[in-house]
Amino acid sequence: MPSIVEERKAEIKEIVCDILEIDPGEITETSLFKDDHGADSLRAIEILANLERTFGVTIDQAELNRMTNLQNVYTVVEEAAARS
């Protein structure tokens, strides 16, 4: 099923890589921001804030717990976009 997120995956990945300061080649859909890429909780906040700003969505702060890898971020953005 094509979704808004499907079209924006590349953009989300770019934002995440930008904030984690890693090459797009280093990240996979399931590599963990914290354990694999050394992200701390502030890095996660920045990802969330940038996604909100870029896609004009509102993401509940509680979603931070789910936003552990790219795949989960795609889902969170998709759900947020569906609500708005």
Partner 1 sequence: MEQLELVVRQRRQIAESVVELTLGAADGGALPSWSPGAHVDLVLAEAEDGRTPLVRQYSLCGPEASDRWRIAVLLEPGGRGGSRFVHERLEPGTRLRARGPRNLFPLTESRRAILLAGGIGITPLLPMARRLARTGADWRLVYGGRSRAAMAYLGELAAYGERVRIVAQDEQGLPDLGSLLGRPLPDTAVYCCGPAGLIAEAERLCRSWPAGALRCERFQPEIGSGVPAGPDSGFEVELARSGRRLTVPAGRSVLEVLQAAGVAVLSSCAEGTCGTCETRVLDGEPEHRDEVLGEAERADGKTMMVCVSRSRGPRLVLDL
**Cα dihedral 37, 40, 41, 42 sign:** negative
> Minimum Å distance from CB 40 to partner 1?
4
Let me know: does 69 contact 32? Beta carbons within 8 Å: yes
**Closer residue to partner 1, CB minimum distance, 11 or 46:** 46
> Minimum Å distance from CB 84 to partner 1?
17
**Closer residue to partner 1, CB minimum distance, 2 or 58:** 58
d(CA 2, CA 18): 25
Please list every residue from 36 through 75 that binds partner 1, using CB under 8 A.
38, 40-42, 45-46, 49-50, 52-53, 61
Q: Which residues pair with 73 in a beta bridge?
A: none
